[in-house]
Amino acid sequence: METNKSVSETIIRVRYQETDQMGVVYHTNYMVWFEVARTDFVRDIGLSYRDMEKLGVLLPVIEVNCVFRSPARYDDEIIIKTYVKELSGSKVIFEYEVLRKEDNKLLATGFSKHLWVNREMKRINLAHVLPDIYERLLQYAPNEEA
């Protein structure tokens, strides 16, 4: 993740309902946290999912992955760092690091892959359909020369 130009940080506090019988965060909650962090990332760079959708551009998830390294527990404050790992006119991949705020311990890593599509769910090339949005996102993509 070192080659990325920008990171967004989202802080959440683990709610009791997010934990399982073992007292740790249930694994599916990480996918929800990724979505919250991804939405924050887009907002942080001056865009909005709502505005893109009004323009007819959608961003469905086609793949998601999470590697669990250490458990998060009830009432932990969690930092989710979000990066653009890869960007092209037809897709974007976001990468995530989940850390416990108290000790900066890495709890999980993951990614989500998305396609740019129109309202009919047909793939589009964002660079051609909304070049201004594509150019803005490109500023936060990894530096390929690094």
Which residues are annotated as catalytic? Answer: 20
Please, which residues have CB within 8 angstroms of residue 60's CB and are 6 or more apart in sequence?
A: 114, 115, 117, 121
Q: How many CA atoms lie within 13 A of 72 on its CB side?
A: 34
